[in-house]
Amino acid sequence: MKIAIAYFSPQGRTARVARLIHEAVGGKLVEIEPKDPYSMKDLDWNDKESLSSREMRNEFARPELKAMPDLEKPDVLFLGFPIWWYVAPRPVDTFLDGEPLEGVRIIPFATSGSSPIEGAVRRLRATYPGLHFEDGALLNDGDPALWARKVLGL
């Protein structure tokens, strides 16, 4: 089984979880990085004019990403992100728009200060109906490695 872990983590929290999953199940670890990294000012969700706020108001915003290594179409993709405005951030959409993931088992995982993952998964399923998203998990606490092994039946 070919496994990949792709994650977006502008502040490092989701990256830590992604590394723990990678250590547990192996595979290819790939960071989803915007071409122009977000500053703390860009990430200020209290500022309606911050970059992240403007992107999240625009359903069609697709920030340009840095070049990424080829995922080589895995069988399973763990897809990690922080939850912004109850959904996955727009760089995740840019990533999904650019990857041939039909037939891939996509397992979302997220970090969040207070939002559950269900709304994010619901939006991913609606936006990308040709892809197979599982329910996923919010991994603020607990053992991401144990969760990932359990999801894969290991």
Q: Provide the 8-state DSSP code for 99.
A: S
Angle formed by the axes of helices 144-152 and 13-25, nearest 10°: 50
Calculate mean pLDDT across residues 26-43: 93
**Which pLDDT does position 51 carry in this prediction?**
79
Residue 52: the pLDDT is 80
The reported pLDDT for the residue numbered 56 is 83
Has residue 35 got a pLDDT over 90? yes
Specify the pLDDT at position 46: 78
The residue among 81, 80, 133 whose CA lies nearest residue 102 is 133
Q: What is the pLDDT of residues 52-79, one digit of tens each?
A: 888 888 989 999 999 999 998 999 999 9
pLDDT of residue 113: 83
pTM for the model stands at 0.94
What's the mean per-residue pLDDT of the chain? 94
b/e map of 139-150 (b: 16 or more CB within 10 Å)? beeeebbebbee
Neighbours of 40 (CB within 10 A): 9
Summarize the confidence of residues 16-30 as an average pLDDT: 97
Q: pLDDT tens, 77-113?
A: 999 999 988 999 999 999 999 999 999 999 999 999 8
Cβ-proximal residues to 25 (8 Å cutoff; 6+ apart), any chain: 3, 5, 78, 145, 148, 149, 152, 154
Instruction: Determine the pLDDT at residue 40.
Output: 86
User: pLDDT tens digits, residue range 109-146?
Assistant: 999 988 899 999 999 999 999 999 999 999 998 899 99
Q: What is the pLDDT of residue 78?
A: 98
